[in-house]
């Protein structure tokens, strides 16, 4: 239960209000315009806004917006001299829309981005894996309902419950799914007691304490990941420091998910022993 609370409230802290898809579309257009006019400050600023708006969406993304968002991430990766990230984002873009292209005002003929786009078009990233199934829940991948997710390219994942999007996030290529996608963190089955409860066993107290401590560590790792993310997007950050900030943010996020899973497991064991 600790892991469930932590996973669902972490996003709530970041969103003052739900974002609209129309707002995200406008931000992406502004980012494209800034990149085309070589307005680095404006481009990076729009990048931060777009990421925040995506995380706060409460309606499904459209395939067109997903295509535009992947293009924005490709431009951002290119801006930071991340060739692999550029190709992966472009691979996601053409996977959503095979006819998608880069505007010539952004990438004229002979531009390195053109070469990266051709590489993306020939990249085999068709491997998929199943998403968890749960009654009353469904998943959206890049603006379309899906029951499988791509393993070898980035994608935008959204979780819908009772007709409303609960989470929206960008997943990098080869990255594990967020902790909140696991079925046990989505479904909390009702508990019906037909017998008198057994006395609480004190032997389970250390296990509950360990679960609580692990959950706190998970929260700390998650908070550290956000500080590294903020540093990555800070305009005054030295470009040479950005790869390290990105790596530490990704590592801390993965560690937070793993620790959250351990906390859930310890809590479950404690319940079994207690009752």
pLDDT in tens, 125-178: 999 999 998 888 999 999 999 999 999 999 999 999 988 999 999 999 999 998
- pLDDT value, residue 130: 94
Average pLDDT for 76-98: 96
- Tell me the C-alpha distance between 242 and 82, whole Å: 10
- Tell me the C-alpha distance between 199 and 196, whole Å: 9
- Tell me the C-alpha distance between 28 and 77, whole Å: 15
What residues have CB less than 8 Å from 171, skipping those under 6 apart?
A: 149, 154, 155, 156, 157, 177, 178
In the chain, the percentage of residues whose pLDDT exceeds 90 is 49
Beta bridge partners of 167: 159
In Å, how far are 106, 127, 132 from 76, measured between CA atoms?
Answer: 12, 25, 31
**Which stretches within the chain are classed as H helix?**
2-14, 21-36, 40-55, 63-79, 83-96, 112-121, 183-186, 205-233, 242-274
Q: Which pair of tokens denotes residue 71? A: 């293009």
- Tell me the C-alpha distance between 228 and 237, whole Å: 11
- Tell me the C-alpha distance between 106 and 55, whole Å: 26
Average pLDDT for 97-123: 93
pLDDT(87) > 50: yes
- Tell me the C-alpha distance between 63 and 93, whole Å: 10
CB atoms within 10 A of CB 223: 12
- Tell me the C-alpha distance between 162 and 151, whole Å: 27
The CB-based long-range contact list for 118-124 (8 Å cut-off, 24+ gap) reads: 119/87, 119/90, 120/87, 120/88, 120/90, 120/91, 120/93, 120/94, 121/94, 123/87, 123/91, 123/153, 124/152
- State whether residue 51 is helix, strand or coil: helix
CA diameter of the chain: 76
Q: Note whether 32 and 103 are within 8 A (CB).
A: yes
- pLDDT value, residue 82: 96
Q: Which of 53-62, 111-120, 200-209 has the lowest mean pLDDT?
A: 200-209
């Amino acid at each position: 239960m600790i892991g469930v609370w932590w996973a669902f409230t972490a996003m709530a802290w970041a969103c003052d209000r739900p974002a609209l898809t129309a707002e995200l579309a406008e931000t992406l257009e502004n980012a494209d315009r800034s990149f085309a006019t070589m307005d680095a400050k404006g481009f990076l600023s729009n990048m931060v806004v777009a990421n925040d708006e995506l995380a706060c969406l409460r309606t499904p993304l459209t395939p067109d917006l997903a295509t535009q968002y992947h293009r924005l991430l490709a431009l951002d990766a290119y801006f930071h001299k991340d060739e692999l990230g550029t190709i992966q984002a472009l691979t996601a873009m053409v996977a959503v829309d095979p006819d998608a292209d880069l505007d010539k005002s952004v990438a004229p003929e002979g531009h390195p981005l053109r070469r990266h786009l051709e590489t993306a078009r020939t990249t085999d990233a068709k491997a998929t894996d199943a998403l968890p199934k749960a009654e009353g829940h469904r998943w959206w991948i890049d603006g379309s309902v899906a029951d499988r997710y791509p393993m070898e390219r980035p994608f935008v994942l959204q979780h819908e419950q009772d007709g409303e999007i609960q989470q929206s996030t960008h997943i990098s290529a080869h990255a594990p799914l967020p902790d909140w996608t696991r079925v046990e963190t989505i479904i909390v089955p009702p508990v019906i007691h037909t017998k008198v409860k057994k006395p609480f066993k004190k032997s389970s107290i250390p296990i509950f304490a360990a679960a609580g401590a692990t959950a706190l560590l998970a929260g700390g790792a998650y908070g550290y990941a956000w500080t590294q993310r903020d540093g990555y997007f800070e305009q005054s950050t030295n470009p040479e420091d950005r790869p390290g900030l990105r790596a530490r943010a990704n590592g801390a996020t993965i560690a937070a998910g793993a620790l959250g899973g351990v906390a859930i497991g310890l809590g479950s064991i404690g319940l079994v022993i207690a009752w």
